[in-house]
Amino acid sequence: MSRYRAHPTAIVESASIGDGTTIWAFAHVMKGASIGKDCNIGDHCFVEPGVSIGDGCVIKNGNMLWEGVTLEGGVFVGPHVFFTNDLYPRSRHLPEAASRYAGRKDWLAKTRVKRGASLGAGAVILADLTIGEFAMVAAGAVVTKDVPAHALVLGNPARARGWVCRCGRVLRFSKGKASCACSLRWKSAKHGIENIR
């Protein structure tokens, strides 16, 4: 039996919720959504069938996770982040567009957020893309393409502006090397950064 906690006002319809997870007030987790262990799902969140959330994720309040969204372990989703799953949405009740939606799912575009990444408050994440491990999406950024591991991206559209450590701190590189306050050391590499033992 799963031992998770849910606020009395939360609606939890999924049977797949890990031990130690807490679901807060006015949140709604639909049947067919999967949530790992030791997660926080904040007030007013909504989790749709088909969503997969790994262990140890913090989902701040007001987030809506749509079918097609996968979060790996240890992901931070700031307040009110905007996920999407349709690159050119229309009302499915609009006669001119209904054929795109009736009995088919090729409109569905997926998003994967890899282990340890952080999405800042109000970031907009377009679909059909991947946010790399330990990446940091700044608050208010509009992400339109893949984000490399450890990259800091910001702005509208979001552009890479630096690199962050596993702990989240921005790294200052000098001659291709950086030391973080958390004690980890890094060097520039061909497609990003590499940890130095």
Residue type, 136: M
Nearest approach, Cβ of 44 to a copy of itself (angstroms)? 6
Q: Is 2 in the site for a copy of itself (CB under 8 A)?
A: no
Of residues 32, 49, 122, 162, which one binds a copy of itself by CB under 8 A? 122
Q: Is 120 in the site for a copy of itself (CB under 8 A)?
A: yes
Q: Write out the binding residues for a copy of itself, residues 57-116 only, by CB under 8 A.
A: 57-58, 60-62, 64, 66, 73-76, 78-80, 82-84, 88-97, 99-100, 116
Q: Write out the binding residues for a copy of itself, residues 157-186 only, by CB under 8 A.
A: 157, 164, 166-170, 182
Of residues 17, 39, 113, 149, which one binds a copy of itself by CB under 8 A? 39
Nearest approach, Cβ of 115 to a copy of itself (angstroms)? 8
H or E stretch at 82 = strand 82-83
User: Could you tell me if 158 and 137 are in contact, meaning their C-beta atoms sit under 8 angstroms apart?
Assistant: yes
Closest CA to 186 of 164, 160, 154, 168: 164
Spatial distance between the Cα atoms of 76 and 39, rounded to a whole number of angstroms: 10
Of residues 12, 34, 46, 153, which one binds a copy of itself by CB under 8 A? 46
Spatial distance between the Cα atoms of 155 and 162, rounded to a whole number of angstroms: 13
Number of residues in contact with a copy of itself, rule: CB under 8 A? 65
Distance (Å) of CA 60 to CA 24, 26, 184: 10, 13, 27
Q: Name the residue nearer to a copy of itself (CB basis): 63 or 130.
A: 63
Q: Is 192 in the site for a copy of itself (CB under 8 A)?
A: no
Distance (Å) of CA 191 to CA 49, 112, 124, 180: 35, 19, 24, 20
